[in-house]
Amino acid sequence: MNQPTVLSLECPKLRAAMSDISLTQRWEVLRRSANPLTTHALADACGVSDGVAQRTLDLLVEAGLAVRLRASARRREITYRAVSERVLVQWDATSGSDLVFLLQNRQAMRAYSRGVIDRNDTVETRGMPGLPKFRGHQSFTLTKAESESIAQALRNAWQFITQVEMLARERAAAAHAKRGQRKDAANPSEDAEEHPYHVALEFRPLKTAELPICDIGAWEKKALARELAYLTRSPAAVLTQREQQVAKRLADGESRPEVAKALGVTLNTINSATKRIYTKLGVRNRAEFTARMKSG
């Protein structure tokens, strides 16, 4: 489950699955589950009928995004899990159909995100305390604790963002004045070269819960090797979610008894988890582990 899975956008069933936002949201619920889910468990988690959940799981298996686990003495029902904790979709820059699909998929995700924002666009939910309202299309759902952490991080970063915005506006104004003085003002190629990015943010509490947006990365095949090399050496790529919780606390300086108490488990559980973490990260002691976590 820890190694990234690479799928090809050439697969028609994968394209069909990725085109269905609701289906990929249910896949994300499955991916985030610590244990394999039965059809009924997925239906309950997503607020859909068992029939819808079963059709979802069948389509996900056909698309290569999920695995069906047969019933056994240990698991009395058929269960399902995501094919891995991280899925990468490979596409070809020379393929016109790949480019069209990705563009349409991106537009659909933006439309969905815009819908979420609009449904929660009230006086009470606009912007953040002490901050102007953000506008944008990046969409994902959070717990209350996570939202508070991000809110604090954005407050801390707001002064820097404001300074960068001011400098960017001054630079744009100066560039505009400079173009007005040039005879070749109709040729904006130089300025386009200097401004290749656009940033827009939106942060707001939801009035009603939304299923999470799926975490599937699309990488052009020439850049895929570089991404895989990064992921396979990153602690987040080789540790389970629970192991990441333990590793982060240990890396922050907490002792094993403190981690055990914070997570509500026994010291033996933390000791066993630490051994697995050290093995997966290829470290032998606390010093090497701390350095490895910082470099990852």
CATH number at residue 268: 1.10.10.10
Residues 112 and 216 in one domain: yes
Length of the chain: 296
In a 13 Å sphere around the CA of 210, the CA atoms on its Cβ side amount to 21
How far apart CA 208 and CA 69 sit, in angstroms, is 33
pLDDT value for 168: 73
pLDDT value for 137: 42
pLDDT value for 167: 75
Burial code (b: 16+ CB inside 10 Å, e: under 16) for 112-133 equals: bbeebbeebeeeebeebeeeee
How far apart CA 222 and CA 93 sit, in angstroms, is 9
Residues 27 and 135 in one domain: no
Residues 21 and 109 in one domain: yes
How many domains does one find in the chain? 3
Spatial contact of 42 and 25, defined as CB atoms under 8 Å apart = no
Nearest of 214, 201, 210, 216 to residue 150 by alpha carbon: 201
Domain that holds residue 290: 237-295
Q: Extract long-range pairs of 52-56: CB within 8 Å, 24+ residues apart.
A: 53/26, 56/23, 56/26, 56/27
Q: What does residue 161 show for φ and ψ, rounded to 5 degrees?
A: -60, -40
Residue 79 lies in a domain: yes
Mind listing the pLDDT tens digit of every residue in the chain (296 residues)?
Answer: 457 899 999 999 999 999 999 999 999 999 988 889 999 999 999 999 999 999 999 999 999 999 999 988 877 899 999 998 889 999 999 999 999 999 999 999 989 988 888 887 776 655 544 444 444 344 566 777 777 777 777 667 766 766 777 777 777 777 767 766 655 544 544 444 455 666 666 666 777 788 888 888 889 998 888 778 766 777 877 788 889 999 999 999 999 999 999 999 999 999 999 998 988 887 778 888 888 887 66
Residue 125 lies in a domain: yes
Residue 203 lies in a domain: no
Residue 86 lies in a domain: yes
